[in-house]
């Protein structure tokens, strides 16, 4: 009897919570779309925030270099280890460069860079805009007759979208370099030969398709960060929540988008 | 001179029949009040009674569920965010928590509305910012970052930023909370000076009864989502209205269980 009652009480609770979660997700998606649209319109507004764009270019690009560089370097190194190990079974070890180069340029360079930037920049954006929101700085911008989308969102979206491809190029280069060092020291593959195999296998199209994807990733990371940040409620606790959510959502969105964009690029 | 000028001023800001609920709790229910040009209107009310919400409704940061806001006679509550820009240029607002931009220096904070709406040469910009900083007793503070300021200093920079554009209407949300008596007096004098020199319409939300006495042309008391009483600056001293007594003593007079949950404690800062 008592247990039955407990279940009867619990059930609508679960349903209601599920419904609530769906509604909240739909609302977030709607806000995201609206924000994306306003950001697009803000590009053409007078008083383009050029200075803030420069500041963000530096914050997003230059200061992400170390973390992206280290990631790429070690990814290239471990990739060379694994590939050489696998190719050794076919006696094709000298061609490590071909596989490492292709994998880095087409897939790992773009995606790992995007994930690192999602963790660093996406979280930073959500935390900063979230704090601004809960301390009424966003309201203050509006109260002074300025547009938070133009002042805050646009510079971050432009900077991240512009910088991620550049960071990816850097990551590609460093990753290949990491592979070169391991191939040379560990397996005695001459650097010249390693680079030659890469140049022979990897085409300009491979490189471009990898870099092109990151424009989409950069946009996703910044937009998710801004949207989550500006939706923050509930004080400092809310800022923490927003930050976590921004990283989780943008990382997953990057991986999902990667599949579809890659498929699209393969068709083209 | 100010004493006679103030009553003749045109209506600058008016709220009529404003309602606002948050998550089913009605904070403002049928609130009407108006502030004239060259008038200082002080809005009192216990903590959580909706004073800050009222100011945000006035400047369009919060849209009312019902009712209307008029700025110099023009209905603004249904304007788009974009059209509101023109209206907001007429306003200056001091936020309860100052809401300074953490990422900018004090100078850039105060210069913000000037840069946004005027194309001043850099030297003139500098002069105007410095004049605003001097007006709040912080000359030369421009190079500091907000994080380096004390609470009272932040508040005063918030005032400097609000008046930088020489707005026609200034909304002050507790401008003297956390200030020493001398600086509170200075802010009070500034409010009066803006009224007398520029005919500014001021809405002052405060718990500082000394400030209320110093600056008010009219005083209103927000109670249970409505304007319960309105009067001159002596309102609190003279009125026997139950809402006034409740505000001063913290004891709820009426019986109609209000929508403002469990917070009726009036704290007079300083
Ligand atoms: N954005 C919001 N979302 C939900 N509730 C809100 C929001 N803003 C205000 N409230 C609620 O409205 C009520 C009135 O808040 P308000 O900040 O106007 O009080 P106040 O009169 O300014 O109080 P105080 O003197 O303490 O500053 C509070 O109960 C608050 O919880
Ligand atoms: Mg308040």
Q: Could you tell me the two tokens for A221?
A: 């990371």
B11-22 and B25-36 beta bridge pairing: antiparallel
pLDDT tens for A161-216 read 999 999 999 999 999 999 999 999 999 999 999 999 999 999 999 999 999 999 99
**What does the mean pLDDT of chain A come to?**
91
Q: Looking up tokens 């860079």, which residue turns up? A: A113
Shortest Cα–Cα distance, A53 to chain B (Å) = 14
pLDDT band of B7, cuts 50, 70, 90: low
Testing the interface with B: which of A20, A34, A144 to mutate, by most B Cβ within 10 A?
A144
Phi, psi of B15 (to 5 degrees): -110, 135
Which residue range is the domain that position B37 belongs to? 11-90+171-176+200-269
Distance in Å, CA B50 to ligand 1 centroid: 5
| Distance between CA atoms of residues A50 and A59, nearest Å | 14
Report if residue B232 sits inside a domain: yes
Report if residue B35 sits inside a domain: yes
User: What predicted TM-score, i.e. pTM, was given to this entire model?
Assistant: 0.88
Q: What is the DSSP string of A47-62?
A: S--HHHHHHHHHHHTG
Phi, psi of A75 (to 5 degrees): -65, -45
Cβ of B102 within 8 Å of Cβ of A136? The answer is no
- Give the pocket of ligand 1 (CB within 6 Å): B 22, 27, 45, 47-53, 96
Is residue A82 helix, strand or coil?
A: helix
Report if residue B5 sits inside a domain: no
Return the half-sphere exposure (C-beta side, CA atoms, 13 A cut-off) of residue A81. 7
Interface TM-score (ipTM) > 0.85: yes
Question: Rounded to whole angstroms, what are the CA distances from A29 to A25, A130, B266?
Answer: 6, 18, 41
Phi, psi of B46 (to 5 degrees): -70, 165
Interface of A with B in 117-176 (CB under 8 A): 128, 131-132, 135-137, 139-140, 142-147
Cβ of B101 within 8 Å of Cβ of A147? The answer is no
pLDDT tens for B30-55 read 999 999 999 999 999 999 999 999 99
Q: Looking up tokens 């279940």, which residue turns up? A: A7
Q: Where are the domains of chain A?
A: 67-267
Q: What is the pLDDT of residue A44?
A: 84
- Tally the domains of chain B: 1
Report if residue B187 sits inside a domain: no
Name the closest-CA residue to atom 1, ligand 1: B22
Burial degree of A182 (CB within 10 A; 0-12, 13-18, 19+)? buried
Name the closest-CA residue to atom 3, ligand 1: B22
Cβ proximity of B69 and B18 under 8 Å: yes
With a pLDDT cut of 70, the percent of chain B lying above it is 90
What residues have CB less than 8 Å from A39, skipping those under 6 apart? Answer: A149, A153, A154, A157, A223, A226
Report if residue B159 sits inside a domain: no
Report if residue B42 sits inside a domain: yes
pLDDT band of B264, cuts 50, 70, 90: very low
- From the list A132, A143, A146, the residue facing B93 with the nearest CB is A143
Q: Has residue B4 got a pLDDT over 60?
A: no
Name the closest-CA residue to atom 4, ligand 1: B22
Cβ proximity of B82 and B88 under 8 Å: no
Phi, psi of A14 (to 5 degrees): -65, -45
Task: Choose among B126, B116, B169, B118: nearest CA to B9.
Answer: B169
Q: What is the pLDDT of residue A8?
A: 46
Q: Has residue B258 got a pLDDT over 50?
A: no
CATH number at residue B229: 3.40.50.300
Cβ of A136 within 8 Å of Cβ of B97? The answer is yes
């Amino acid at each position: 009897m008592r247990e039955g009652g407990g279940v009867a009480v619990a059930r609508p609770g679960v349903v209601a919570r599920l419904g609530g979660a769906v509604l909240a997700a739909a609302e977030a998606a709607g806000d995201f779309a609206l924000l994306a649209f306003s950001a697009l319109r803000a590009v053409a507004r007078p008083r383009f925030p050029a200075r803030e764009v420069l500041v963000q270019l530096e914050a997003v690009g230059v200061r992400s270099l170390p973390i992206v560089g280290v990631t790429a370097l070690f990814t290239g190194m471990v990739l060379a280890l694994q590939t050489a190990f696998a190719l050794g079974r076919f006696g094709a070890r000298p061609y490590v460069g071909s596989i490492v180069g292709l994998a880095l340029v087409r897939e790992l360079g773009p995606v790992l860079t995007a994930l690192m930037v999602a963790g660093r920049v996406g979280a930073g954006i959500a935390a900063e805009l979230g704090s601004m929101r809960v301390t009424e700085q966003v309201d203050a911008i509006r109260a002074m007759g300025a547009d938070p989308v133009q002042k805050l969102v646009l510079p971050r979206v432009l900077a991240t979208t512009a910088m991620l491809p550049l960071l990816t190029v850097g990551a590609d280069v460093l990753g290949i370099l990491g592979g070169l060092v391991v191939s040379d020291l560990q397996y005695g593959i001459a650097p010249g030969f390693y680079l030659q195999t890469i140049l022979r296998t990897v085409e300009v199209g491979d490189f471009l398709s990898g870099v092109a994807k990151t424009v989409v990733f950069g946009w996703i990371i910044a937009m998710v960060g801004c949207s989550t940040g500006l939706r923050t409620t509930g004080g400092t606790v809310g800022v923490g929540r927003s930050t976590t959510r921004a990283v989780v959502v943008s990382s997953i969105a990057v991986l999902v988008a990667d599949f579809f964009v890659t498929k699209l690029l393969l068709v083209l | 001179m100010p004493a006679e000028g103030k009553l003749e001023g045109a209506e600058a800001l008016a709220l009529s029949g404003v309602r606002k609920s948050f998550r089913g709790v009605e904070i403002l229910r049928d609130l009407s009040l108006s502030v004239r040009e060259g008038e200082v209107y002080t809005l009192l009310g216990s903590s959580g009674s909706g004073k800050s919400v009222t100011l945000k409704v006035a400047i369009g940061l919060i849209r009312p569920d019902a009712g209307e806001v008029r700025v110099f006679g023009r209905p603004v509550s249904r304007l788009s965010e974009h059209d509101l820009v023109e209206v907001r240029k007429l306003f200056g607002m001091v936020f309860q928590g100052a809401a300074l931009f953490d990422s900018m220096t004090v100078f850039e904070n105060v210069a913000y509305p000037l840069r946004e709406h005027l194309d001043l040469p850099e030297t003139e910009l500098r002069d105007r910012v410095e004049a605003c900083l001097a007006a709040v007793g912080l000359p030369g503070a421009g190079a500091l970052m907000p994080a380096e300021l004390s609470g009272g200093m932040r508040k005063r920079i918030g005032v400097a930023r609000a008046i930088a554009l020489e707005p026609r209407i200034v909304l002050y949300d507790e401008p003297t909370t956390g200030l020493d008596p001398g600086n509170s007096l200075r802010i009070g004098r500034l409010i009066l000076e803006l009224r007398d020199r520029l005919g500014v319409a001021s809405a002052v939300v405060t718990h500082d009864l000394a400030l209320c006495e110093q600056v008010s042309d009219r005083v209103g008391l927000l109670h249970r989502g409505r304007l319960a009483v309105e009067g001159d600056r002596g309102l609190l001293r003279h009125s026997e209205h139950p809402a006034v007594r409740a505000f001063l003593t913290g004891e709820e007079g009426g019986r109609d269980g209000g929508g403002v949950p469990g917070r009726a404690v009036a704290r007079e800062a300083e």
